[in-house]
Structure 1
Amino acid sequence: MIDYKSSAKDIIRFVGTKENINKVIHCSTRLRFTLNDFDKVDLDELKKVTGVMGAIIAAGQCQVIVGNNVVEMFDAVHEELGNLSGNPETSQKQKMKPGAVFLDFLIGVFQPLIPAIAGGGMLKSILLLFSAFGWMSTTSSTYNVLNLIGSAPLVFLPLLVGFTTAQKLNVNPVVAMSAVAALLLPDMTTALTKGATFFGMGITNITYASQVFPAILCVLLYSVLERILTKYSPKAIRIFFVPLVALTITVPITLLFLGPAGYVFGEEFTKVIFFFYSHFGFIATALLAGLLPLLVSLGMHKAFIPYAVAQVSTTAGEPLYLPASIGHNFAESGVCFAVALRTRDKNLRATAISAAISAFFGITEPALYGITLQNKRALGSVMAAGAIGGGLVGFFGVKAFVAVGPGIASMTMFASKADSNNLLWAFVGMAVTMIISFVVGLFTWKDRPEAIEVAEEKIKMHKIGAVRLASPVTGKVEPISQVSDSVFSSGVLGDGIAIIPKEGKLFAPIDGKIAMIYETKHALGMTTVDGIEILFHIGIDTVKMNGKGFKLHVKQGQNVKKGELLMEFDISQISNEGYDPTVMMIVTDNKQQEVEFPAIIA
């Protein structure tokens, strides 16, 4: 069980302490830190923090990959940090390359939009599926109300973009949204249709609903004006003077120049992507699906979000990035299931199963950082299977209509009123990708030599000497390296064994004296007649149980004989409270004598 408070403190320390942090947000699997000085980050130590699966510096952020526990970890970090408003922004942006600054800006603007867009889009796609099966009529009032609810995030997307852009630029979000709202006024739309002018200058007729780039340019101009006006306006009138002047200038300039420029930019940006798709077809989808593991690991896949959001806001659908994600997401899942079946490392198996399930539901970071990027064979399998799956959905022209990561629960994102086969081919692509990735993973996976060596230690004596220790607990004996707590598995405390207990009784493995008993009763130490020091630790993180479920039968300083009952512990209570009941016996000091442990059986 993860101690989020302790891990949060470590994370903050290794990103350069609180003073180095300007902002922290989270996505579905990562904590994203905006920092003053990235040179202060210790990535190696970050990766060792309990609950952290990986850490990278990409897209102008320090990204700490946590996986499914990201919300709990974020809450702990946020509580530990408190108020960050006092941290001045230094030259952080100057240390970033222009491309990284641009990508960081895009992520800051579009990442917070995904839940609303995905929620509304999924509602619309589910309604479409219900109507296709005849479960709900498209002419019913209930259908229309729910459909309008689903449409709201996309219709008013400029307002949402205005809010997130203002947050990213640290300006007043309410006033910024007011500037964008002026573009969406029904009367403004009517005026533009009739050929409105401003001081004799014609205003281009553009429908701003569902547009993103005009809203971004609008708020960028507003942010500049707000800072200038705030700096030079008298404090007594600042509360109304700054919004008054800023709105009066921002909205007309947006209508005359920035709005049309943003509209054209969005159109041309989409045309560039469609150029590759139209010229290379399914090959482009296959190539993108195969490269997505690398793009996601670098955070570069976020550059596709503006395009994807813009496309799903139309009836045409998005034919490249989200369909290619079918190949990547389900390839990650299939390979992880294969690894879980093939590996002899129980810790890796547990990680692989969890990662496979997450990827199956569209969250690939646990699989990517827990399995794929750490093993070349797994990475190759994912890229190969992903390319085949991506190519297949690209060949059949599958399109997405919701901006969310493809997973088993979100496959209705491919439901199309115009093409009933679109969803079918999406499922075919999913199934083919899963099967190929699983089979390829089964045949290509090989445990690392050290893992094989440990797993094949059947009935083998783990020897470091001649003083023989019996097993202190009835149960399955395993290598200490298999324990999920790195303090024990790393051997830093000493050599030893782990026992998965069948009975909640701890016996003396040899004659000796009880040297120490922890206050919480979960651990005790003894010294043999030869002076060898032994530590018994019952369970992992069981110190938090504060002695509940433990019953001592000895006292500190008491002499004991081999086989004498030292302690009783309730295995069920330990497990029910969420802790691992594995018992560790560690020789912390062998006094340079030879010691022989019980047999390890894999």
Structure 2
Amino acid sequence: MTRDDDARAILDGVGGPANIAGLTHCSTRLRFTLADDAKADLDALKALPGVITAVRSGSQTQVVIGNDVVSVYNAVEKQRKGVPAAGGSGVGGTGAAGGSAGGGADARRGFSWKRFGSAVMDFIVSVFTPIVPAIAGAGIFKSLLVGAGALGWLPTDSTSYQLLSVIPDAVFAFLPILVAYTAAKKLNVNRPLALGVVAFLLFANFSTLVNQDGGAALFGLQVQAVNYNSQVFPSILAVLALWPLERFFTKISPGPIRVFFVPFMCYLIVAPLLMLVLGPLGFWLGSLLTGAMIGLYNTLGWVAVAILAALLPLIISVGMHKAFIPPTLATMAATGKDSFYLVASLGHNLGEAGAMFAVALRTRSIRLRATAIPAGISALFGITEPAIYGVTLQNRKVLLSVMAGAFAGGAYLGLTVVSAFALVGPGLASFTMFVDALNPMNIVNAAIGAVIALAVSFVITLVVWKDSTSPTVRAERELALAEGESDTVSAEPTPATTPAAAAAAGTSTVLAPLSGSVIPLAEVADPVFSGGILGDGVAIVPTAGGVRAPFAGTVTSLLDSKHAIGVTSDDGVEVLIHVGIDTVKLDGAPFTAHVAQGDRVEAVQLLVEADLDAIREAGYDTTTPVIVTNSDRFAVEALAAGEIVASAPLARTTTKELAHGAA
């Protein structure tokens, strides 16, 4: 088949050109936004030559191609040119549906609750995730300060204590400004304009006017006296109102006056609307969510905490835990504490840790142990995704053990009415979030509940775990036997995997392209990478953004987005370094390339610099898969785990024919 034939087959597989509302590509896959997802035939796409796999992720249908993605993308775009889109509008070569008065496919996509839910979750994540570090840091600062006061180390009536208290208190007081910024960034609204519109809510003169005797009225309409400190929903509603207005006035205003006319009209319309309607409405919405959270807790008590803790592995696996952030923020703003979601999270986090350590102790699989130990440590510190995706969801008995431990720990935490005072993932590093100056037993009970969750899940996993019932271990054995290798599920490496045997087989070394923490590829929160679809390898959670050559060779792939780079060694090993997950959407903004496609590079030469802070602020995961994309030719063996520095040995590759011959 020619490349044009491939493109036509892919277009047929996604429901035809008229079904395409948008098309982009990253370093390995075509990303389709379709008018009707049901028209895409994933099985047919997977069966096409040149297509590695096809997956549906959120609102996108992704066709994984590999290194040839650019040429396939160009061929698909060539086929799309001149083909009418849904509604009769033409589709150009930019990947977006063309627009007549009736709109293209994108504008005419039918409503579905799934698509609506996906859009809402994406908005929530984009608005709240970037501000969590600021809130979490301020919360821990405050809890440490309260602890120092309770222990008498720093008297609460001292000037030093009061001055230090101002630092975290200001973060929460000006939370509406932080939310206005992230919401404006998500919706591509002018950020200073959004901040300016929202700022009056926190202005002392405004508070004085509306709180005076008799209140205040705007053109005869009473302005409600509301304390907007720490509120998030008024800012969100204000930015949602700005979103269409700014575009409308930008479109209709003449160029010479646009710079002042657009913001003037936005102030004129949105600010009074915020003062009279949107502000009180947002405050009511926050109060409603707070009441719902507190009401559920008051109705079910400790049972609610225990049930939520037990269900969190499933809730987190589909990303729905992000929906708890707004009501938890609202609850903490109203009451200064949370006794539900964060407390349940403590039980779940420690339950995951206990199960991981038991799996590591019981399994004879070297690879599974290498996954479980760092995942358990990560869960101890409040990050459970590596455990959930790497082990828990793949093994039913582990999932049930985690749920049992989380339920037991959550029940104790609920019965003793433990409360959290900082919005941060509960774990060892953040345990001061449970310091309560009025109740010294709060942190003691939190510790007891955490130990219960860890111990129960550890013991149950220890009892029920069997390598023979683990899908992960069975697949590992089957793969080893299919490739003619000895069983890798053993306490010691077999002779075929010793360094001496590997050297005899003829190997080459892949150096770490970044400094950071090495994790198994299975822990990457992207099914294409974690499933090994693009090839074998490992991933690095980077601590520095300098991406260096893993060996001497040639740059064979470097997209305009600069988030991923492919290098081929002189021995023919093809390595893809993909900085972050879904970072193609950043359009290259946080990346600086120091080489070009086709350049000859030496080992450890600087290839790309990534601004990790900017990537995180944009709400993206910085985890960087390092993959041997031609794993059909080369066996890959990880050489490192845990912390690593750039240029240290990361993996060993062996030509499969030589490896099998040596075996």
The alignment's TM-score, normalised by the length of structure 2, stands at: 0.62
Tell me if structure 1 keeps the 8 A contact 2:34–2:61.
Answer: no
| Aligned counterpart, 1:511 | none
- Is 1:579 matched up with 2:649? yes
Tell me if structure 2 keeps the 8 A contact 1:480–1:497.
Answer: no
Q: Structure 1 521/149 Cα, relative in aligned 2: closer, same or farther at 3 Å?
A: closer
- Is 1:402 matched up with 2:422? yes
Cα deviation for residue 114 of structure 1 reads: 0.5
Residues 525-561 of structure 1, C-alpha deviations (whole Å, 9 max, x = no match): xxxxxxxxxxxxxxx99x94559xxxxxxxxxxxxxx
| Aligned counterpart, 2:185 | 167
Q: Structure 1 259/501 Cα, relative in aligned 2: closer, same or farther at 3 Å?
A: same
Superposition map of 1:90-109 within 5 A: 90=106, 96-109=114-127
Tell me if structure 2 keeps the 8 A contact 1:497–1:586.
Answer: no
Instruction: Give the Cα separation in 2 of the matches to 1:169 and 1:346.
Output: 46
Amino acid corresponding to residue 189 of structure 2 in structure 1: V
Superposition map of 1:463-542 within 5 A: 479=486, 498-501=496-499, 506=504
| Aligned counterpart, 2:202 | 184
- Is 1:57 matched up with 2:64? no
Cα deviation for residue 192 of structure 1 reads: 0.9
| Aligned counterpart, 1:118 | 136
Instruction: Give the Cα separation in 2 of the matches to 1:247 and 1:408.
Output: 46
Instruction: Give the Cα separation in 1 of the matches to 2:144 and 2:274.
Output: 37
Instruction: Give the Cα separation in 2 of the matches to 1:413 and 1:134.
Output: 18
Residues 16-72 of structure 1, C-alpha deviations (whole Å, 9 max, x = no match): x9x745999xxxxxxxx99734968989x99xxxxxxxx9835x5899xxxxxxxxx
Instruction: Give the Cα separation in 1 of the matches to 2:166 and 2:61.
Output: 39
Of the three residues 368, 373, 379, the one matched with 1:353 is 373
Instruction: Give the Cα separation in 2 of the matches to 1:463 and 1:103.
Output: 42
Q: Structure 1 453/377 Cα, relative in aligned 2: closer, same or farther at 3 Å?
A: closer
- Is 1:230 matched up with 2:230? no
Match of 1:36, SS state, is: strand
Larger radius of gyration: 1
Q: Point out the more displaced range, 441-450 or 228-237.
A: 441-450
Of the three residues 156, 179, 203, the one matched with 1:138 is 156
| Aligned counterpart, 1:148 | 166
Of the three residues 313, 316, 320, the one matched with 2:333 is 313
Cα deviation for residue 267 of structure 1 reads: 0.8
| Aligned counterpart, 1:390 | 410
Match of 1:211, SS state, is: coil
Tell me if structure 2 keeps the 8 A contact 1:497–1:585.
Answer: no
**Structure 2 residue ranges without an equivalent (≥5):** 1-19, 47-54, 63-93, 98-105, 511-536, 539-548, 554-638
Instruction: Give the Cα separation in 2 of the matches to 1:578 and 1:303.
Output: 40
Cα deviation for residue 314 of structure 1 reads: 4.0
Cα deviation for residue 418 of structure 1 reads: 2.2
Percent of aligned pairs with the same residue? 39
Match of 2:57, SS state, is: strand
Tell me if structure 2 keeps the 8 A contact 1:402–1:413.
Answer: yes
Tell me if structure 2 keeps the 8 A contact 1:118–1:402.
Answer: yes
Match of 1:399, SS state, is: coil
Match of 2:189, SS state, is: coil
| Aligned counterpart, 1:380 | 400
Match of 1:498, SS state, is: helix
| Aligned counterpart, 2:579 | none
Amino acid corresponding to residue 119 of structure 1 in structure 2: G
Cα deviation for residue 101 of structure 1 reads: 2.5
RMSD: 4.4
Tell me if structure 2 keeps the 8 A contact 1:330–1:360.
Answer: yes
Q: Point out the more displaced range, 319-328 or 164-173.
A: 164-173
Instruction: Give the Cα separation in 2 of the matches to 1:331 and 1:582.
Output: 35
Q: Structure 1 181/545 Cα, relative in aligned 2: closer, same or farther at 3 Å?
A: same
Amino acid corresponding to residue 464 of structure 2 in structure 1: T
Instruction: Give the Cα separation in 2 of the matches to 1:581 and 1:298.
Output: 32
Tell me if structure 1 keeps the 8 A contact 2:366–2:488.
Answer: no
Tell me if structure 2 keeps the 8 A contact 1:329–1:359.
Answer: yes
Residues 334-355 of structure 1, C-alpha deviations (whole Å, 9 max, x = no match): 1001000011110000000010
**Structure 1 residue ranges without an equivalent (≥5):** 1-16, 25-32, 47-54, 64-85, 466-477, 484-495, 508-516, 523-539, 548-570
Tell me if structure 2 keeps the 8 A contact 1:93–1:101.
Answer: no
| Aligned counterpart, 1:286 | 306
| Aligned counterpart, 2:270 | 250
Tell me if structure 1 keeps the 8 A contact 2:355–2:398.
Answer: yes
Amino acid corresponding to residue 57 of structure 1 in structure 2: S
Superposition map of 1:291-306 within 5 A: 291-306=311-326
Tell me if structure 2 keeps the 8 A contact 1:156–1:210.
Answer: yes
Q: Structure 1 188/88 Cα, relative in aligned 2: closer, same or farther at 3 Å?
A: farther
Instruction: Give the Cα separation in 2 of the matches to 1:143 and 1:220.
Output: 39
